[in-house]
């Protein structure tokens, strides 16, 4: 039995899943019927099939729903979820106001659908504002913090 016979992939259905991810701002979706399962995730704006959660890149430019900021680059939420400032409850926060970060540093984690998504700095700089609190809900496009 060939791989195609084992799992006949409906590409039109995969496109519908991709559109659903885009429309809802979710970072990952899983669909199962019987023993057949498909999981899609958004990474840097592209839909990829994978078996483990992938980090989500942060857009450097604010979205329409972003809170206005006076100086610096706003880091906005790429999804709806719950923001966590540290890797564990009561742990040391990833960043504080005044910290210097470099591109790729984890700034916060957003939990969406029980998947922990690290939000990383798109560029280096100094954290000048933190606009969210630990363990609070965030919306797609909401400004999390500002790097100058």
**Count of the separate structural domains present in the chain:** 2
Q: Are residues 17 and 81 in the same domain?
A: no
98/17 Cα distance (integer angstroms): 41
Domain ranges, residue 137: 73-147
- Regions of the chain short of the pLDDT cut 50: 1, 3-5, 44-67
Instruction: Give per-residue pLDDT as tens, 38-79.
Output: 766 655 444 444 444 444 444 444 444 444 555 889 999 999
Q: Are residues 79 and 139 in the same domain?
A: yes
Predicted structure pTM score = 0.55
Please check whether residue 15 lies inside any domain of the structure: yes
Q: What is the pLDDT of residue 50?
A: 42
Please check whether residue 106 lies inside any domain of the structure: yes
Please check whether residue 59 lies inside any domain of the structure: no
Q: Are residues 139 and 81 in the same domain?
A: yes
Q: How do 36-43 and 125-130 pair as beta strands?
A: unpaired
Q: Are residues 84 and 140 in the same domain?
A: yes
Q: Are residues 84 and 135 in the same domain?
A: yes
Please check whether residue 65 lies inside any domain of the structure: no
Read off the CATH number of the domain in which 135 is found.
2.40.50.100
């Amino acid at each position: 039995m060939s791989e195609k016979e084992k799992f006949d992939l409906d590409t039109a259905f995969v496109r519908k899943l991709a559109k659903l991810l885009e429309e809802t701002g979710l970072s990952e979706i899983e669909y199962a019927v019987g023993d057949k399962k498909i999981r899609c995730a958004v990474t840097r704006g592209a839909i990829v099939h994978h078996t483990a959660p992938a980090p989500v890149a942060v857009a450097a430019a604010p979205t329409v729903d972003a809170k206005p900021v006076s100086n610096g680059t706003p880091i906005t939420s790429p999804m709806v979820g719950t923001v966590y400032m540290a890797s564990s409850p009561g742990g040391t926060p990833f960043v504080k106001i005044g910290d210097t970060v470099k591109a790729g540093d984890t700034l916060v984690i957003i939990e969406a659908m029980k998947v922990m998504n690290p939000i990383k700095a798109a560029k280096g700089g100094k954290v000048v504002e933190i606009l969210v609190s630990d363990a609070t809900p965030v919306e797609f496009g909401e400004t999390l913090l500002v790097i100058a």
